[in-house]
C-alpha cells in the first residue's frame, strides 16, 4: 500500500463510521415513529370498542339488546390492551392495567343499565390517562433521539477534523520524504559517478538496465551496446548461466552474494571480484565488480617466490643430509615436485662428461609423462638461434614458458607440451667445475621474464654443483679409506690363502687363511721361499712362475700344494707383481684357493648329468654322445653300429601292483643282468622308465646284434627276486636298428630301434625285431591317426549308434548298447572310415579315452532319459568302460554327476567291462565294482571267455550278467567245440545265478541253438545293426 496506505485506510474507516452513525439515527427515528403509530392505533381501537358498547347501550332503551352484544366489544378492547402491553413504554403500563380492570368491570355489569354507563365512564378516564402518559413517554423518546442525533453529528465532525489533520500531516511527511529522496538520489548518483570500477543494475532475467562507474574500458565496448541486452548475449552459455544463478540466488534470499570470475577483455584475461545485492523488494539487483588482476599477479609472484624459497630451503636440507650423489639427486627431484610444484623433475647426466653427447636419466619424480624411455636423450645439434640447445651444451641456466617454440628440442619437450607442461627450467650441474649434466624441471606455468627468479635458479645451480663436488671428493676419500680397510680386512678374513714375497722370493707376510689351508704358522714360513708348498719339482716350477710374472705381470693356474701333514690338495693359484710408483716390481703377491671339494663336486655333477642315479647306467644324454662317437668311429673304420632298444613287458603290472620300490628293485636287477652281456667297448644305458638302450660297436654283420638280443632275452627269462622277497618274471620286447642302413644319426637310429621294438610287442612280445621301412610307415600312420583322433575329441566329432539286446523267449528288448563311432565330419575326406577296434586302443594308449568316455556316458544317459520321456521302454542303457579309465580313477564320481545332470535312473544304466580289463585294473577293482553296485548300476562282464576266466572273481565281484564273445557264437551250431564251450559257459552262469547274453547272433539257427541251451538274451545283426538313436526309437515304438 505504500507509505500513504494508513492514511487511505483512516479515511475509509471514518467514512464507514459516519455512514453507520447516520444509519443508526435513521433506524432509531423509524422505530420511534412505528411504535407511536402502533400505540395510537391500538389505543384508539380500544376506545372505539368501548364507545361501541356505549352506543349499543343507548340503543337498548328503544329496543332490546342482548347482553353478549354489549360485552363482546368490551372483551375485544381488553384483548387489544393486553396485546399493547408488550410494546408500551413502562410508564403507561399502570394506566393500561386500570383500563383493563375497568373494561372487565363494565363487562360484568353490562346487564345493569344503570351501572353500565358509570363503568364505561371509568373506562374512558383510564384510557385518557393512558393516552396522556403515552404522550409524555413519546415526548421523552423524541428528545432522546434528538440528543443522539446531535451526538452523531458531533462525532462525525470530530472524525472529519481528525481526518483533515492526518491528511495535513501526511502531506508534510511526503514533502519531507521527497526532499530526503532527492538528497539520497543525489548522493547515490555522486557515489556511482565516483566508483573506481563498475556497477550494473539488472533485472531478474539478466538484462542490463543501467551502468555506473568510471572504469568504462573494463566493459570492452560502449555502454549503449550493453543497455537492454542479456547476459547470454555477451558471455558464453556456461558463464552466463553462472552469473544468472548468482543473480537469482540474491533475489531469492534477498541477501547479497559474492562471485570471483575471470573473463577476457580486449584480448587480456582479467580477474574480478563482484558483489550482487537486491534492490529493495523489486526484482532488480545492483552488481558491482572490481578488477583484481594486478592483485592476482602480485599474489602469484609472491606465491612463486615463496615456493622457490621453500624449494631452495628443502634443497639445502637435502644437500646437508644426503650421503651420496644418487640420494641427493633423487631427493632434489622429489623436492622440486613436492615443494617447487613442478609437474616433472629429473636429473640427466652425461655418459662421458669429457665428451658430452648423450644424457642418461639417473633420478626422476613427478608425472608419468614424459615417459622413462624419453628421459635419456642425445644433445640437440648446436644452433645459435636455439637457447634451449645452447643451455644444454654450454651449461647455462635457462627458462622458457613455451617449449614448443624450440625447433630442435629433444623428444621429451614435445611430449611435455602434449602432457600440459609447456614450461621448462634447465639447471646445469657441475662437478669439479666440469659440466656433468642438468636438472630439468617441467611445469604448467613458468615465468621466463622475472630476473629475480632466474637469479634464484642460478643460485640453485651453484649450490647443487658445490654439493656434488663435495660429495664427489668425500666419495673419493671414502673409497681410498675403504680400499685400505678392505685390503687389510681381506688379508685377515678372506678364505683364500695370501702370501707376499720379496723380489728374492722370500715370504714377508701371510694371512690366517694361509695357515688354515697349509697348516703352517706365520712364524714358521717368514723368510722361506714358497717352494716347500709344491709337490713336484718345486724349484723348476717356481722358476717358471717367476719368469711368467716378470714377462706378463701375472700367472694363474691350478697347482697341487702339499699340506704340512703331507696331504696334497688342489689349488687355484694366482701370482701377481706389485709395482712401485716408478713402475718397478717390488714384491710378488700370491693368492690361492683350495678347490679340491670343487673338483670332487664337478666330478659328481658330471656323473649325475650323464648317468641314471637308480641303475648307474648312462642316461639319455650320455647314450646319445656315445652313439654319436660310435657313428664317427664306424665311418672311419667302415664298420657297423647296432642299436638295441629294450622295453620290459608287464613292468607296469609290477610297478602298480607291488609298488614303486619293487619296480625300482626290478630295474636295478635288470641293469645288473644286462651288464653281464655287454662287451667292454659297448654301451648299456637307461633311456627312460623301463626302456634300455645297448650300443654295439665294431660289428661286421647284423647277425651279431641278433645274437646279443637273443642272449638278452635268455638272460631275462630267469625269475627276479625283489627286495621284499617277491619273485617275478619279466619279459622284454627288443628292437634293433643298424648304422648306416637304418639311420645316419643317433636320433634316427634310436627312433627306428624303438619302432622295431613295437613290432616285437605286436608279434607277441618276448622277441626281437630288426627295423624295416614299413615301421616308419606304420609310425607315420599312427601319428596321423592320433592327430585325427585328437582333433575329433576337440571338435566332438563322434556319434553314438545303438544296438538292441533281445530276450530270446519273447523277443522283447531288454537293453540297448551304446557304441561310439567317428562322425563323417572327422575324416574331412582325407581318410577311410575307422572302426572302434582301430581307434579305441589308440585312445587308451594316449589318454584320450577319458574325454571320449565322458562324452559317451553323458550322451547315452541323455538319450536314455529322452526315450523315457517319450514313453519308450528300452530296458537298460549299456555303456562299455575302458580298463584305462578304471585305473585313472574317479569313474564313480563322474558317473554320479552325469546321472544327476541327465536325470537317468541308475537302475536303467548297465556298465560293461571286459574280462581282461577287470584283471588288469589292479587291486582296487573290487571296491570300484562294489561302489557301482551300491549306486544301483547293472554290471556286465563283456567278451567273456576271451580272458582270464575264473569262478573265483565271478563269485567275488557283484556282477549280474555275462556276455559271451562273438568268437564263440559265429560258428554255431556247426562247430561242436564252440557249442560245448558255450553250453559250459551258460551252465556255469546259471549256477552262479547270472544272466547270459550272446553277442554276434546273425542267423536264426544260432538263435534257436542258444535258446535251446537256456541263453537269456541275444545281440547281433539278426535283430538290428548298430543304428542311430532315431531308428532305435522307431524299433522300440513298433515293439
What is the C-alpha separation between 518 and 562, in angstroms, rounded?
Answer: 7
Q: Which pLDDT score is estimated for 830?
A: 54
- Across 835-845, b (16+ Cβ under 10 Å) vs e yields eeeebbebbbe
Banded model confidence at residue 922, pLDDT cuts 50, 70, 90: low
What is the C-alpha separation between 1004 and 981, in angstroms, rounded?
Answer: 20
Of 595, 614, 523, 1019, nearest in space to 817 by CA: 1019
What is the C-alpha separation between 303 and 309, in angstroms, rounded?
Answer: 10
Give the pairing type, strands 434-443 and 398-400: unpaired
Instruction: Judge whether residue 918 has pLDDT over 80.
Output: no
What is the C-alpha separation between 677 and 62, in angstroms, rounded?
Answer: 201
SS3 content of the chain, % helix, strand, coil (to 5): 55, 20, 25
Q: What is the largest CA-CA distance in the chain?
A: 215
Q: Which pLDDT score is estimated for 920?
A: 63
Instruction: Quote the mean pLDDT of the chain.
Output: 84
Least confident segment among 668-677, 786-795, 935-944, 1026-1035: 786-795
Instruction: Judge whether residue 186 has pLDDT over 50.
Output: yes
Would you list the DSSP string of 233-287? HHS-HHHHHHHHHHHHHHHHHTS-EEEEEEEEETTEEEEEEEEEEE-TTSSEEEE
Cell of 839: 581307434
Query: For the chain, what are the domain ranges?
Result: 5-163, 195-291, 298-478, 494-572, 611-771, 790-1038
For residues 246-264, average pLDDT: 88
Instruction: Judge whether residue 932 has pLDDT over 60.
Output: yes
What is the C-alpha separation between 391 and 677, in angstroms, rounded?
Answer: 85
CATH assignment, 790-1038: 3.20.20.450
Cell of 575: 701370482
Report the SS3 class of residue 429. Answer: strand
Whose cell is 526309437? That residue is 1033
Banded model confidence at residue 381, pLDDT cuts 50, 70, 90: confident
Instruction: Judge whether residue 469 has pLDDT over 70.
Output: yes
Whose cell is 636287477? That residue is 669
For 319, residues 6+ apart whose C-beta sits below 8 A from its C-beta are: 328, 463, 464, 467
Banded model confidence at residue 185, pLDDT cuts 50, 70, 90: low
Of 281, 275, 280, nearest in space to 261 by CA: 275
Would you list the DSSP string of 121-156? HHHHHHHHHHHHHHHHHHHHHHHHHHHHHHHHHHHH
Fold agreement (298-478, 494-572): yes
- Of residues 346 and 313, the one with the higher pLDDT is 346
Instruction: Judge whether residue 50 has pLDDT over 80.
Output: no
Instruction: Judge whether residue 733 has pLDDT over 90.
Output: yes
Instruction: Judge whether residue 1 has pLDDT over 90.
Output: no
For residues 955-971, average pLDDT: 89
Whose cell is 629475480? That residue is 452
Going from the C-alpha of 727 to that of each of 551, 614, 666, 692, 713, the distances in angstroms are 72, 20, 10, 22, 18
Rounded percentage of the chain residues whose pLDDT exceeds 90: 21
Instruction: Judge whether residue 666 has pLDDT over 80.
Output: yes
For residues 601-606, average pLDDT: 78
- Record: fold of 611-771: Alpha-Beta Plaits (3.30.70)
What is the C-alpha separation between 970 and 999, in angstroms, rounded?
Answer: 9
Q: Residues 205-227: pLDDT tens digits?
A: 888 888 887 666 667 677 777 78
Instruction: Judge whether residue 998 has pLDDT over 90.
Output: yes
Instruction: Judge whether residue 831 has pLDDT over 60.
Output: no
The answer for 151, left when phi > 0, alpha when psi is -120 to 50, beta otherwise, is alpha
Instruction: Judge whether residue 307 has pLDDT over 90.
Output: no
For residues 938-948, average pLDDT: 80
For residues 919-931, average pLDDT: 75
Q: Residues 352-370: pLDDT tens digits?
A: 888 888 889 989 998 888 8
Instruction: Judge whether residue 188 has pLDDT over 70.
Output: no
Q: Which pLDDT score is estimated for 969?
A: 93
Going from the C-alpha of 272 to that of each of 193, 265, 284, 409, 772, the distances in angstroms are 20, 11, 21, 38, 101
Give the pairing type, strands 812-822 and 798-807: antiparallel
Whose cell is 585325427? That residue is 788
Banded model confidence at residue 594, pLDDT cuts 50, 70, 90: confident
Report the SS3 class of residue 938. Answer: strand
Q: Which pLDDT score is estimated for 60?
A: 64
DSSP H/E element including 807: strand 798-807
Q: Which pLDDT score is estimated for 384?
A: 65
- Most confident option among 77-91, 185-199, 485-499, 788-802: 788-802
Would you list the DSSP string of 945-996? TSS---HHHHHHS---EEEE-HHHHTTTTT-HHHHHHHHHHHHHHHHTT-EE
Whose cell is 531288454? That residue is 814
For residues 29-56, average pLDDT: 77
Q: Residues 848-902: pLDDT tens digits?
A: 888 899 999 999 999 999 999 999 999 999 999 988 788 777 889 999 999 999 9
For 5, residues 6+ apart whose C-beta sits below 8 A from its C-beta are: none
CB 284 within 8 A of CB 209: yes
What is the C-alpha separation between 644 and 679, in angstroms, rounded?
Answer: 14
Class of 298-478 in CATH: alpha beta
- Cβ burial, residue 533 (10 Å; 0-12/13-18/19+): buried
Of 120, 114, 118, nearest in space to 73 by CA: 120
- Cβ burial, residue 459 (10 Å; 0-12/13-18/19+): middle
What is the C-alpha separation between 269 and 262, in angstroms, rounded?
Answer: 7
Q: Residues 396-414: pLDDT tens digits?
A: 888 888 887 776 788 888 8
Instruction: Judge whether residue 86 has pLDDT over 50.
Output: yes
Q: Which pLDDT score is estimated for 812?
A: 92
Give the pairing type, strands 731-739 and 768-770: parallel
Instruction: Judge whether residue 262 has pLDDT over 90.
Output: no
Banded model confidence at residue 625, pLDDT cuts 50, 70, 90: very high
- Of residues 356 and 625, the one with the higher pLDDT is 625
Q: Residues 92-127: pLDDT tens digits?
A: 778 777 877 887 877 777 777 777 787 778 878 777
CB 214 within 8 A of CB 301: no
Q: Residues 743-759: pLDDT tens digits?
A: 899 999 999 999 899 88
- Record: fold of 5-163: 1.20.120
Least confident segment among 88-92, 461-465, 767-771, 969-973: 88-92
Domain 195-291 has CATH 3.30.450.20: yes
Instruction: Judge whether residue 288 has pLDDT over 80.
Output: yes
Q: Which pLDDT score is estimated for 215?
A: 67
Q: How far is CA 493 from the centre of its chain?
A: 54
Least confident segment among 162-171, 435-444, 783-792: 162-171
CATH assignment, 494-572: 3.30.450.20
Q: Residues 644-657: pLDDT tens digits?
A: 999 998 788 788 77
What is the C-alpha separation between 1039 and 1020, in angstroms, rounded?
Answer: 17
In sequence order, the β-bridge partners of residue 735 are 645, 769
Instruction: Give the side-chain half-sphere CA count within 13 A for 679.
Output: 11
Q: Which pLDDT score is estimated for 62?
A: 47
Instruction: Judge whether residue 196 has pLDDT over 70.
Output: no
Banded model confidence at residue 30, pLDDT cuts 50, 70, 90: confident
For residues 295-304, average pLDDT: 76
Of 818, 778, 775, nearest in space to 798 by CA: 818
Amino acid at each position: 500500500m505504500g507509505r500513504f496506505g494508513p492514511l487511505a485506510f483512516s479515511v475509509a474507516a471514518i467514512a464507514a463510521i459516519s455512514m453507520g452513525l447516520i444509519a443508526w439515527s435513521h433506524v432509531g427515528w423509524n422505530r420511534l415513529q412505528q411504535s407511536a403509530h402502533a400505540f395510537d392505533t391500538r389505543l384508539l381501537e380500544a376506545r372505539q370498542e368501548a364507545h361501541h358498547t356505549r352506543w349499543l347501550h343507548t340503543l337498548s332503551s328503544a329496543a332490546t339488546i342482548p347482553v353478549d352484544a354489549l360485552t363482546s366489544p368490551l372483551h375485544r378492547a381488553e384483548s387489544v390492551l393486553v396485546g399493547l402491553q408488550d410494546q408500551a413504554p413502562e410508564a403507561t403500563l399502570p394506566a393500561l392495567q386500570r383500563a383493563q380492570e375497568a373494561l372487565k368491570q363494565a363487562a360484568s355489569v353490562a346487564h345493569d343499565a344503570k351501572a353500565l354507563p358509570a363503568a364505561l365512564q371509568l373506562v374512558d378516564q383510564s384510557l385518557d390517562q393512558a393516552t396522556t402518559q403515552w404522550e409524555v413517554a413519546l415526548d421523552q423518546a423524541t428528545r432522546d433521539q434528538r440528543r443522539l442525533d446531535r451526538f452523531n453529528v458531533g462525532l462525525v465532525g470530530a472524525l472529519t477534523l481528525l481526518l483533515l489533520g492526518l491528511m495535513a500531516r501526511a502531506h508534510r511527511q511526503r514533502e519531507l520524504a521527497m526532499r530526503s529522496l532527492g538528497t539520497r538520489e543525489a548522493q547515490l548518483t555522486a557515489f556511482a559517478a565516483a566508483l573506481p570500477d563498475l556497477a550494473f543494475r539488472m533485472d531478474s532475467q539478466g538484462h542490463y538496465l543501467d551502468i555506473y562507474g568510471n572504469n568504462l574500458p573494463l566493459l570492452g565496448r560502449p555502454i549503449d551496446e550493453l543497455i537492454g541486452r542479456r547476459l547470454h548475449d555477451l558471455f558464453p552459455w556456461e558463464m552466463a548461466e553462472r552469473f544468472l544463478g548468482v543473480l537469482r540466488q540474491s533475489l531469492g534470499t534477498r541477501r547479497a552474494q559474492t562471485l570471483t570470475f575471470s573473463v577476457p577483455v580486449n584480448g587480456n584475461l582479467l580477474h574480478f571480484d563482484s558483489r550482487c545485492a537486491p534492490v529493495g523488494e523489486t526484482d532488480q539487483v545492483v552488481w558491482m565488480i572490481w578488477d583484481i588482476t594486478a592483485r592476482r599477479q602480485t599474489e602469484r609472484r609472491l606465491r612463486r617466490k615463496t615456493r622457490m624459497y621453500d624449494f631452495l630451503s628443502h634443497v639445502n636440507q637435502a644437500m646437508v643430509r644426503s650421503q651420496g650423489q644418487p640420494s641427493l639427486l633423487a631427493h632434489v627431484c622429489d623436492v622440486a615436485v613436492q615443494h617447487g610444484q613442478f609437474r616433472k623433475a629429473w636429473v640427466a647426466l652425461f655418459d662421458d662428461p669429457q665428451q658430452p653427447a648423450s644424457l642418461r636419466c639417473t633420478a626422476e619424480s613427478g608425472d608419468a609423462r614424459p615417459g622413462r624411455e624419453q628421459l635419456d636423450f642425445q644433445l640437440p645439434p648446436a644452433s645459435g638461434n636455439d637457447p634451449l640447445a645452447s643451455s644444454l651444451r654450454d651449461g647455462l641456466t635457462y627458462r622458457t614458458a613455451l617449449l614448443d617454440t624450440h625447433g630442435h628440442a629433444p623428444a621429451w619437450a614435445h611430449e611435455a607440451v602434449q602432457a600440459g607442461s609447456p614450461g621448462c627450467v634447465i639447471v646445469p650441474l657441475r662437478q669439479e667445475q666440469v659440466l656433468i649434466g642438468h636438472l630439468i624441471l617441467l611445469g604448467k606455468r613458468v615465468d621466463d621474464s622475472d630476473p629475480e627468479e632466474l637469479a634464484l635458479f642460478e643460485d640453485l645451480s651453484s649450490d647443487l654443483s658445490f654439493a656434488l663436488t663435495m660429495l664427489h671428493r668425500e666419495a673419493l676419500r671414502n673409497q681410498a679409506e675403504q680400499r685400505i680397510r678392505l685390503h687389510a680386512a681381506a688379508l685377515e678374513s678372506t678364505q683364500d690363502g695370501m702370501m707376499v714375497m720379496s723380489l728374492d722370493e722370500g715370504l714377508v707376510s701371510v694371512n690366517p687363511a694361509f695357515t688354515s689351508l697349509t697348516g703352517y704358522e706365520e712364524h714358521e714360513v717368514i723368510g722361506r721361499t714358497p717352494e716347500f708348498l709344491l709337490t713336484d719339482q718345486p724349484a723348476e716350477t717356481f722358476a717358471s712362475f717367476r719368469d711368467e710374472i716378470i714377462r706378463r705381470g701375472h700367472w694363474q693356474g691350478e697347482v697341487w700344494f702339499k699340506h704340512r701333514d703331507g696331504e696334497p690338495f688342489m689349488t687355484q693359484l694366482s701370482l701377481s707383481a706389485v709395482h712401485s710408483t716408478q713402475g718397478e716390481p717390488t714384491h710378488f703377491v700370491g693368492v690361492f684357493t683350495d678347490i679340491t671339494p670343487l673338483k670332487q663336486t664337478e666330478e659328481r655333477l658330471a656323473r649325475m648329468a650323464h648317468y641314471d642315479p637308480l641303475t648307474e647306467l648312462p642316461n639319455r644324454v650320455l647314450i646319445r654322445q656315445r652313439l654319436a662317437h660310435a657313428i664317427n668311429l664306424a665311418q672311419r673304420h667302415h664298420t657297423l653300429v647296432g642299436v638295441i632298444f629294450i622295453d620290459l613287458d608287464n613292468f607296469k603290472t609290477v610297478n602298480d601292483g607291488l609298488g614303486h620300490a619293487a619296480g625300482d628293485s626290478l630295474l636295478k636287477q635288470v641293469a645288473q643282468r644286462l651288464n653281464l652281456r655287454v662287451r667292454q667297448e659297448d654301451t648299456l644305458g637307461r633311456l627312460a622308465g623301463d626302456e634300455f638302450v645297448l650300443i654295439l660297436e665294431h660289428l661286421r654283420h647284423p647277425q651279431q646284434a641278433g645274437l646279443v638280443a637273443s642272449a638278452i632275452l635268455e638272460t631275462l627269462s630267469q625269475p627276479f627276486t625283489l627286495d621284499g622277497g617277491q619273485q617275478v618274471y619279466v619279459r622284454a620286447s627288443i628292437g634293433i636298428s643298424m648304422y648306416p642302413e637304418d639311420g645316419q644319426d643317433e636320433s634316427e637310429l634310436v627312433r627306428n630301434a624303438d619302432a622295431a621294438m613295437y613290432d616285437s610287442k605286436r608279434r607277441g612280445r618276448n622277441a626281437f625285431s630288426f627295423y624295416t621301412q614299413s615301421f616308419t610307415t606304420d609310425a607315420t600312420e599312427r601319428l596321423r591317426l592320433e592327430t585325427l583322433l585328437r582333433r575329433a575329441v576337440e571338435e566332438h566329432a563322434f556319434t553314438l549308434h545303438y544296438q538292441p539286446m533281445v530276450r530270446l523267449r519273447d523277443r522283447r528288448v531288454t537293453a540297448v548298447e551304446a557304441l561310439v563311432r567317428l562322425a563323417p565330419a572327422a575324416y574331412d575326406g582325407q581318410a577311410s572310415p575307422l572302426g572302434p577296434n582301430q581307434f579305441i586302443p589308440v585312445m587308451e594308449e594316449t589318454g584320450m579315452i577319458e574325454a571320449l568316455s565322458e562324452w559317451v556316458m553323458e550322451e547315452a544317459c541323455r538319450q536314455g532319459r529322452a526315450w523315457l520321456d517319450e514313453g519308450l521302454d528300452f530296458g537298460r542303457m549299456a555303456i562299455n568302460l575302458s580298463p584305462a579309465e578304471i585305473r585313472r580313477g574317479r569313474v564313480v564320481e563322474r558317473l554320479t554327476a552325469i546321472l544327476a545332470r541327465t536325470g537317468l535312473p541308475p537302475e536303467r544304466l548297465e556298465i560293461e567291462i571286459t574280462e581282461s580289463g577287470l584283471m588288469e585294473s589292479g587291486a582296487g577293482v573290487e571296491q570300484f565294482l562294489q561302489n557301482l553296485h551300491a549306486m544301483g548300476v547293472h554290471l556286465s562282464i563283456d567278451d567273456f571267455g576271451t580272458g582270464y576266466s575264473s569262478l573265483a572273481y565271478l563269485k567275488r565281484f557283484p556282477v549280474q550278467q555275462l556276455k559271451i564273445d562273438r568268437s564263440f557264437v559265429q560258428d554255431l551250431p556247426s562247430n561242436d567245440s564252440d557249442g560245448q564251450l558255450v553250453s559250459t559257459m551258460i551252465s556255469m552262469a546259471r549256477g552262479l545265478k547270472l544272466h547270459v547274453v550272446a553277442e554276434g547272433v546273425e542267423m536264426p539257427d544260432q538263435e534257436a541253438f542258444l535258446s535251446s541251451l537256456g541263453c537269456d538274451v541275444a545281440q547281433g545283426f539278426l535283430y538290428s545293426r548298430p543304428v542311430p538313436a532315431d531308428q532305435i526309437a522307431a524299433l522300440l515304438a513298433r515293439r
